Structure 1
Amino acid sequence: MQQKIVLIGGPGTGKTSVLNELIKRNYFCMPEVSREVTLKAKEKGIDQLFLTEPLLFSKLLLEGREQQFITADNSKNKLVFFDRGIPDVHAYLDFFKTEYPATFIEKSKKYKYNKIFHFSPWEEIHTTDNERYETFEESIIIDKFLIDAYLKVGYSIINVPFGTIEERTNFIINSLSCDL
């Protein structure tokens, strides 16, 4: 049976670095969709789509994450890792106090992942760039909304300890080995 594994946490917590390590180890991984959506918007002259049109941005994210889930389902891979999952979309909308249609929660309940690994805010590794503009303090607050969103739709969350990229990746793989 296929295992769908999601890496969650606020911005700049090391999720993508661990996902890249998983890719190096030949695991099937789904990258973060928001950077792609942000870059496409910039090509159209919109600097921060999430800040200017949060509902449109989130709708595009939801579609992208739903497509990733379907792609994973259609693959023959026993393990599929996701850099963020569908509940992240409404967690961010909650953070920004933006109303959204019930379909956001419905899709979070429809497309179920097997395990959720959480990366806590970590000031020593937090950075900003053109697509990640949140401060460390905002990352801490967003993190709380993310945890809440996943718990509300019925997930248990496994906390990934601080450490090197290799140590964090090994923790995840070792946590899953008993399920394979």
Structure 2
Amino acid sequence: MSAQTDRFFVLTGGPGSGKSTLIAALERAGHACMPEAGRAVIQDQMRIDGPALPWRDPAAFAELMLGLDMRSHAMAGAAPGPVFFDRGVPDVPGYLALTGLPVPGHMQRAAETVRYNRLVFIAPPWPAIFGQDAERRQDFDEAVRTHAAMAAIYGELGYELVELPLAPVEARLAFVRAHLPFACGT
């Protein structure tokens, strides 16, 4: 891991667990943040009635997510200080494993070589805040399975998972910020 990627922090977990809300709070607090690729792909594909939607072509959806996640990682280098990612490159092979599709070699290599800080924040399933919308069609059971798939892939890649508390966003923000000195070795 380089000093550069040591300041890159992933927030992962299942859908509807408060990741994007926490990312927004981190951004309001002055931290650089990178958006979730999956939601962006879904929005773009829905706008053009495209084929690369998770309910139409999960493999094509994964390819587009990988490209956006790799671009976000490359762009994050220009930002000062810690950078927070709403999901990371390893989420893509985690997603494919969840759907039962094989993980192509290039995606596995990307997950192994595009690195982040060793601490990965994972949002546990949280029924009290879970919700669906036009872009998030998964039910709560799939959210639980997604959480397990993300925990498995990040663990396999040598990351240390730090579970976020089931708490209001302000408490989650304080929790993440309290881990930064430890995570960055300061």
Whether 1:148 and 2:132 are equivalent positions in the alignment is no
What is the aligned counterpart of 1:100 among 84, 103, 107?
Answer: 103
Q: How many residues align?
A: 179
Aligned to 1:109: 112
Q: Percent identity?
A: 30
| Deviations 1:78-103 (CA, angstroms, capped at 9, x unpaired) | 20000000111111111110123111
User: Does the 8 Å CA contact 1:128/1:134 hold for their aligned counterparts?
Assistant: yes
| Alignment match, 1:17 | 21
Q: Is 1:38 matched up with 2:42?
A: yes
Are positions 1:85 and 2:96 aligned together?
no
Partner of 1:51: 55
- Taking the aligned partners of 2:47 and 2:128, their CA distance within structure 1 comes to 32
1:157 to 149, 154, 161: 161
Q: What CA deviation, in whole Å up to 9, does each residue of 1:4-33 have, x standing for no partner? A: 000011000000000000011110000111
SS at match of 1:105: helix
- Unaligned runs of 5+ residues in structure 2 are none
Cα RMSD, aligned residues only:
1.3
Are 2:52 and 2:60, in contact at CA under 8 Å, matched by a contact in 1?
A: no
Query: Aligned residue for 1:7?
Result: 11
Following the alignment from structure 1 to structure 2, what is the Cα–Cα distance between the partners of residues 152 and 19? 25
Deviates more, 1:131-140 or 1:41-50: 41-50
Is contact 1:42–1:48 with CA below 8 Å preserved after alignment? Answer: no
Q: Does the CA contact (< 8 Å) of 1:118 and 1:157 recur in 2?
A: yes
1:134 is aligned, of 117, 135, 138, to 138
TM value normalised by structure 1? 0.95
CA distance in 2, matches of 1:146, 1:90: 9
Q: What is the Cα deviation at residue 48 of structure 1?
A: 7.2
- CA spacing shift, 1:52–1:89, aligned 2, 3 Å: same
Which residue identity does 1:70 align to in structure 2?
A
**Unaligned stretches of 5+ residues in structure 1:** none
1:166 aligned to which of 149, 163, 170: 170
